[in-house]
Amino acid sequence: MPKKWRNDPATKSQIRYLKRLGVTFPKDISKGMASDLIEKAIAGQPADFETRVQLLFLGIKHPKNITDGAARKLISEFDDIDRIEAYDEWIHLREEEEIRKMDKEMEDEFRSEEKPESRNYGCLIALAILAALFFLTALFERQ
């Protein structure tokens, strides 16, 4: 039974992606057709870095110029459950580490922004006090 969403008009994101991939398509393209064309276009492109890392981690022998489609097929046929679980755990740890790193970078950025502002306010207050003293001194000297 066909999925109803496949007949809906393609999304703006799908259309932009198809254009970026250089795929020609009809003006009234559906979500399903766009999805199929995107999948087909990507399958013929060289495997991306993450897919190559997965192939290497799993120990899957592959040609240097493997396409994304061929790489995904090799990965889907791989049956060493222990290695797949180890890879999944490694990815999970890597994502956690990246999140911690991003949190630390954001915290450091926040603190580096916080300090100069507080120093700037201190400088402004000091200048205001000096200006007030200068004004009062000038006022008292006139009298």
- pLDDT tens for residues 98-132? 888 888 888 877 776 655 555 566 667 777 787 77
CB neighbour class for 7 (10 Å; exposed up to 12, middle 13-18, buried from 19): exposed
Comparing CA positions, the residue from 57, 8, 67 lying closest to residue 32 is 8
Neighbours of 27 (CB within 10 A): 5
Q: Which two tokens stand for residue 26?
A: 């009809």
Mean of the per-residue pLDDT values for the chain?
84
Q: What's the rounded mean pLDDT across residues 71-81?
A: 92
Neighbours of 84 (CB within 10 A): 15
Q: Where are the domains of the chain?
A: 80-143
Q: What's the rounded mean pLDDT across residues 132-142?
A: 72
What is the C-alpha separation between 58 and 60, in angstroms, rounded?
6
In the chain, the percentage of residues whose pLDDT exceeds 90 is 36
User: Which residues have C-beta within 8 Å of that of residue 100, sequence separation ≥ 6?
Assistant: none
pTM of the model: 0.50
What local confidence, expressed as pLDDT, does residue 142 receive? Answer: 65
Q: What residue type is assigned to position 26 of the chain?
A: P
The alpha carbon of residue 81 and the mean position of all alpha carbons in its chain are separated, in whole angstroms, by 29
Q: Where does residue 38 fall: left (phi above 0), alpha (psi -120 to 50 degrees), or beta otherwise?
A: alpha
